[in-house]
Structure 1
Amino acid sequence: MDRRTLLAGMAGLPLLGTNSALAQEFPARDLLGVIQWGAGGATDLTVRAVTPHVEAALGQKIVLQNRTGGTGAIGLTYVHGQPSDAYTLLFGAENPLLYRVLNISRLDYTDFYPVCLLARSVPVIVANKDKPWNSLKDLVADVRANPGRIRMAGTGPGGQAHVVSTMIASTGPFRHISVPFDGEGPGLTAIQGGHADWMAAGSGAVAEHVRAGRLKALAVFNDAPLASLPGVAPATADFPELGRLMPWGSFYGVWVKRDAPEAARNKLVQAFRTGAANPQFQQLMANNGNVIMNISGAEADAFLARWQSVTAWILQEAGAARTSPAELNIPRPS
């Protein structure tokens, strides 16, 4: 071995040791968790329920911050602009999978690594408790009789309410006013205050409101009832043709930048896997009609790709897509 080769090898030793030490130390300080949506929505409630259990497994605090706006794009863009050190987490839902189709952002979840898809929910169509509707059929009939007058609370293009209303519109005319809010929580509050009339929101966000009589549940957007909302009919009871689109719904998870260090990603995966397996968290999800997922990495990426394919092409067929999924190399669902 010549002198230059020996020196080069020796120079690399401290660097390797430093990287190894950094990997072992992660996380050495508090983390920031950015929630795409406002307080009180299904994503916010799910995140705040699991975080204490994750902190216990991780050994550090996760400081939660709601960064709302732009159908969740404000929060996603902020996290993408932070260092790739895994100290900034993105807590989000399904919306980024439709950003490119709806021309909201060039970023989506392909730019992030799925640390954990925590749970998925079934959308529930709820209304102000004083409205005369008692079923989805009643709501649709009123919208068709009064086109452009009934107000739907939503979270913007690509949000759950937007997609559900697009699916309903596949059964016939369904022209309403869309009132945007920075998350399901503010939207549900607006309905209770009479500032909007109805909304499709995650079962986890609406369950307590419905049980307390603050909101009226018209239907679960599913092909079967939910045990957490007894007596509420599935949407297919009134519109059987919607069955071809189900099951469908929101999901909630945590991401870091795709190029974050693998060792740090692995520690986060393990901590969130432990948190999502906590019996207290699992019982809360069940009570709210949510289904535990607790998947990460390649398995989560496969789920996301399938969801994007199905939903993007639904929007395309309904004329709601701004850019064809084909142009974005999003395959048609098989």
Structure 2
Amino acid sequence: MKLKKLLATGLALCMAGSMLAGCGSGSGTTTAAATTAAPAGTTAEATTAADGTTAAGTTAAASAGETDFPTKNVSGIIQWGAGGGTDNLMRPLATLAEKELGKSIVVENKAGATGTIATQYVYDKDADGYTLLMGAENPQLYTALDLLNLTYADFEPVFLIGDETVGIVVSKDSPYKSFTELINAALEKPGELTISTTGKGGLPWEVGSFITAVTGATFNQVPYDSDAAAKTAVIGGECDFTVCKIQSGIEDYKAGTLNFLCMFSKEPAPAMPEVPLITAEYPDFEQYMPWGPFYGVFVKKGTDQAIIDKLGEAFKKAYEDPAYQEQLANTNVNALGLTGSEAKEYMKNWQLNTINALNKSGAIDKTAADLGLE
């Protein structure tokens, strides 16, 4: 009996020692084999979920997207040349956003072919968030115009910055003192009045198509190398009219060399509230409103959502900086500040409105349905 009691006591002491050793090991290294319910971040074998995935693998991936990115500098590719409207908006925004990211955003201009060169370049890179497309609205029309088999549907919006109000402009010596007078003259002389454009797919060409779709007036389109050259052609009397962004025409307007007949908008432009609205003279334009050139930052489709979110937050904070808001106001860019589904909805509406107008005017043969758009 004494022997049995001694054995029982010894066994109890061993068990207690094992339990104490187990508690103490919590602050040390624990192997996966010894752990039945390891916390997230330990070995994947220890945390297999019911659906066959591993909590450790999922957590590690999420952590990489949320905290590790970026581990190197980010490349920002601008669709247009240095000194243009897109370039002037993107460079200061990138400078502010890189402070939030903790890595540099190296901005590079890849101009040409209505922005298709830059768009294709970014699309050909990995969907890892390290190559940003900094562009304007043009890719939404690439497939409609047979320029490139890509649109913003092949990218994800990181951040939509803003859009611009544009106006119909003539020279100070023009005989046309209102948009209605211009249209009446064009209807009397189909195809004779001249509009200076930047070619197929450019801003004046797009708005000219809207005008034809609503009024039935047709024009002789004269292409120039840039918006500035198209504006100069009107000021010099080479063409009857063109389409100008406020930021590119306001100084000429103030100087008296250029006259805004109307704004392509249903709401007055804060910088030029005295200019009539096109919808006041032709209410049917309202079906296509709001409309204007827009600017945004994009990544290739397939980029991890956590990376998109982190980029979006950095650009949002940059956008909200008082100095950048002042720049938007000074250049008469209407602030949008859209991300995610709101940005996608805005771009989809813009695309549908523009394609419907282009098709109705006869500028393109394709319909929205032909392009797979609802």
TM-score bracket for the superposition, by shorter chain length: 0.7 to 0.9
* Superposition deviation, residue 192 in structure 1: 5.8
Contact kept, 8 Å, 2:263 with 2:276, in 1: the verdict is: yes
Secondary structure in 1 matching 2:297: strand
Query: Cα deviations across residues 41-71 of structure 1 (Å, max 9, x unaligned)?
Result: 4333322342332233223332333322222
- Aligned pairs for 1:167-316 within 5 A: 167-170=210-213, 171-181=215-225, 184=227, 187-188=230-231, 198-213=241-256, 215-316=258-359
**Total equivalences in the alignment:** 325
Equivalent residue number for residue 166 of structure 1: 209
1:71–1:156 CA contact under 8 A, matched in 2:
no
Deviations 1:248-278 (A, max 9, x none): 2221111010122333222210111111112
Counterpart Cα distance in 2 of 1:16 and 1:245: 46
Deviation at 1:109, TM superposition (A): 0.6
Moved more, 311-320 or 271-280: 311-320
Unaligned regions of 5+ residues in structure 1, if any?
none
Q: Is the 8 A contact 1:179 1:196 kept in 2?
A: no
**Contact between 1:100 and 1:323, CA under 8 Å: does it hold in 2?**
no
Q: Percent identity?
A: 33
Deviation at 1:205, TM superposition (A): 3.9
Rate the CA distance shift 1:50–1:84 in 2: closer, same or farther, 3 A. Answer: same
Backbone CA RMSD of aligned residues: 3.4
Q: Contact (CA 8 Å) 1:153, 1:198: kept in 2 or not?
A: no
Q: Which structure's relative contact order is higher, taking Cα pairs within 8 Å and 6+ residues apart?
A: 1
- Tell me if the contact between 2:44 and 2:57 (Cα under 8 Å) persists in the aligned partners: no
CA contact (8 A) 1:153 1:191 kept: no
Which amino acid is the alignment partner of residue 103 of structure 1?
A: D
- CA pair 92-81 structure 1, distance change in 2 beyond 3 A: same
The answer on 1:63 being equivalent to 2:109 is: no
User: Which deviates the most, 184-193 or 167-176?
Assistant: 184-193
Distance 1:71 1:289 in 2: 23
Correspondence for 1:150 among 161, 169, 194: 194
Cα–Cα, structure 1 residues 276 and 200, in superposed 2: closer, same or farther, change >3 Å? same
**Counterparts of 2:172 and 2:112 in 1: how far apart (Å)?**
28
Pick one of 102, 105, 109 that aligns with 2:152: 109
2:131 pairs with 1:84 = no
The whole-number CA distance in structure 1 between the counterparts of 2:229 and 2:126 is 31
Deviations 1:262-308 (A, max 9, x none): 33222210111111112222233234433211111222112222222
Q: Check conservation: 1:143, 1:176, Cα contact below 8 A.
A: no
Partners of 2:106 and 2:229 in 1: CA distance: 22
CA–CA separation in structure 2 for the residues paired with 1:84 and 1:192: 46
| TM-aligned CA deviation for residue 214 of structure 1 | 5.8
In structure 2, stretches of 5+ residues that fail to align are 1-31, 34-42, 47-53
Q: Structure 1 residue 186: deviation in Å?
A: 5.8
Distance 1:213 1:292 in 2: 28
Matches of 2:147 and 2:241 in 1, distance apart?
24
Measured in 2, the distance between the counterparts of 1:32 and 1:71 equals: 20
Which residues of 2 match residues 310-325 of structure 1 at below 5 A? 310-325=353-368
Query: 69, 73, 76: which is aligned to 1:33?
Result: 76
| Structure label with greater radius of gyration | 2
Name the amino acid aligned to 2:75: L
**Structure-2 separation of matches of 1:114 and 1:273:** 12
In structure 2, the residue corresponding to 1:324 is in which secondary structure?
coil
Q: TM-score, normalising length from structure 1?
A: 0.82
- The answer to whether the Cα contact below 8 Å between 2:161 and 2:337 also exists between their aligned partners in 1 is yes
Q: TM-score, normalised by structure 2?
A: 0.74
Q: Could you say what secondary structure the match of 1:307 adopts?
A: helix
2:163 aligned with 1:120, yes or no? yes
Equivalences for residues 42-57 of structure 1 within 5 A:
42-57=85-100
d(CA) in 2 for partners of 1:260, 1:89:
11
Q: Alpha-carbon deviations, 1:100-132, whole Å to 9, x = none?
A: 222222100111010001112212223455545
